[in-house]
Amino acid sequence: MSEQKRQSEDELLEKVTSTEYKYGFTTDIESDTIPKGLSEDVVRIISAKKNEPQWMLDYRLKAYKAWLEMEEPDWANVSYEKPNYQDVIYYSAPKQKPVLDSLDDLDPEMKKTFDKLGISLDEQKKLANVAVDIVMDSVSVATSFKETLAEKGIIFCSISDAIQDHPELVKKYLGTVVPARDNFFSALNSAVFSDGSFCYIPKGVKCPMELSTYFRINEAGTGQFERTLLIADEGSQVSYLEGCTAPMRDENQLHAAVVELIAMDDADIKYSTVQNWYPGNAEGVGGVFNFVTKRGICYKNAKISWTQVETGSAVTWKYPSCILKGDNAIGEFFSVAVTNNRQQADTGTKMIHLGKNTKSTIIAKGISAGKSDGNYRGLVKISKGATNSRNFSQCDSLLMGDKCGSHTFPYIEVKNNSSKVEHEATTSKIGEDQIFYCNQRGIGTEAAIALIVNGYCKDVLNQLPMEFAVEAQKLLEISLEGSVG
């Protein structure tokens, strides 16, 4: 490559990597916070503030005690200064009535926030037919479309409300897929989670609209520990969307969520995430630590499909997984993970095949730029009884610039001889011939990269519901391109 070309590419990469975070604004709303630090008392305060029943408090305390004995995991290929867990504020609620009669009652400041995020809670979403639950800092502030959904028997509310109004469901399922002691972060979440979403789709019901939750960390120094529990009863169907943003802050913010999905016989859950937490600045100062445990269980003929577009966070530690327990269950994982500047991501999935004729598909696309590191880590496990099971995995990595890293760590364990597993992985840079070809057709290098990256991610983006796909596409361009208006 000629010197001149190398230079122009360097300039371009420089431009690409110096893109500012678009969602870096804070919302000026009074918050109701408790002092920072974690203790048994704090757990009790959180529970009391939420007016929880005794069983919930007991659950939290048990998790807290387990957490005390656990160590923060360090097997992931990421390095960061471990958070001081006594320096985090574990509860912060926007100071206002958490449940609104009408969305018009929202604090105008908060409404502005949502508008900036591109979430309009009113007509737009009604037209788009999306029911939204918004969790800001730690508390769910608004759930739309509650009545429409109630007609079908669908429960879609904050998990706090669910604990009050549907204790039998929460009690039955909470912690069954991700036990509190599963890992360090799930234990922490189980002890201190302050809100999140709850969803129950009754037998045979096809949810008539997309359900959506937006998470936002606003208050400085707060951790966000949301908890999502989604139960799709026999033969039901639901598509669930999750979006995440956080303002720019110099210090690292902690996000340790737990998501549990239960797909009963013949149920179908599609769970899509667009994660755009603040990634820190170009020097790696600030940003969100995103330590998330997501797992679903599939019973007979059930299907869980995870789709994620991960562009944010300083450090991501996340493995949305499927336990394919019932015969003929299907698990899918479609992922685009972009790292830029100093971001680090260690993400992938686990597909645990237990039932017969279970199938899983993994499509993971990593894009690393700047001085970032992207890791795919995945497990495909075919247990002895999983006769005739299938897995196909494709993990591709695209490198942009010579200062970034891209790594692939698949674990494949097969104990059944009638099953088939195929795993493929490639690592390469964007083809210079592709860029030149685009150039020749009048497409500038920056637009060419966006185009090529888009094509490269198509298999994953195609899985997203329409309006999310458009948002994700834009997000990809923003994360990589420097074309922010």
Give me the residues that bind another protein (CB under 8 A), please: 1-2, 4-5, 75, 382, 397, 399-429, 431-434, 436-445, 447, 451-452, 454-459
Closest residue by Cα to residue 138 from 270, 41, 23, 45 = 45
| CB of residue 418 to another protein, shortest distance in Å | 7
Closest separation between CB of residue 8 and another protein, Å? 8
DSSP designation for 181: G
Cβ proximity to another protein, 250 vs 424, nearer residue: 424
Structure tokens at 92: 């912060």
102 vs 417, beta carbon nearer another protein: 417
CB-nearer residue toward another protein: 142 or 324: 324
Lookup: tokens for 180:
């509190």
For residue 214, the one-letter residue type is Y
Residue 449, phi then psi, degrees to nearest 5: -60, -45
Name which of 200 and 317 has its Cβ closer to another protein: 317
Nearest residue (CB) to another protein, 207 versus 452: 452
Q: Which residues contact 16 (CB under 8 A, 6 or more apart)?
A: 340, 369, 370, 400, 446, 449, 480, 481, 482
- Give min distance, CB of 391 to another protein, in A: 9
Q: Which amino acid is at 250?
A: D
Q: How far is the CB of 401 from another protein (least distance, A)?
A: 6
Least Å distance between CB 7 and another protein?
11
Minimum CB separation of residue 423 from another protein in Å reads 4
Closest to 159 measured CA to CA, from 234, 60, 228: 228
Measured between alpha carbons, how far is 368 from 429 in angstroms, rounded to an integer? 10
Question: Which is closer to another protein, CB of 79 or CB of 440?
Answer: 440
Tokens found for residue 226: 């949301």
Nearer to another protein, 55 or 436 (CB): 436
Shortest gap between Cβ of 79 and another protein (angstroms)? 14
The nearest distance, CB 354 to another protein, in angstroms, is: 15
CB of 389 to another protein, least distance (A): 11
Place of tokens 């303002």: 247
CA distance 347 to 76: 9
137: left (phi over 0), alpha (psi -120 to 50) or beta: left
- Please name the residues in contact with 338: beta carbons below 8 A apart, sequence gap of 6 or more: 310, 311, 366, 367, 368, 369, 374, 476, 479, 480
Q: What is the dihedral of CA 350, 355, 358, 363, to 10 degrees?
A: 0
At closest approach, how far in Å is the CB of 203 from another protein? 37
Q: How far is the CB of 142 from another protein (least distance, A)?
A: 36
Q: Phi and psi of 39, rounded to 5°?
A: -155, 175
Q: Which residues contact 417 (CB under 8 A, 6 or more apart)?
A: none
Torsion of CA 461, 462, 464, 470, to 10 degrees: 60
- Taking the C-alpha atoms of residue 351 and residue 331, their distance in angstroms, rounded to an integer, is 7
Does an H or E element contain 64, and which?
Answer: helix 54-68
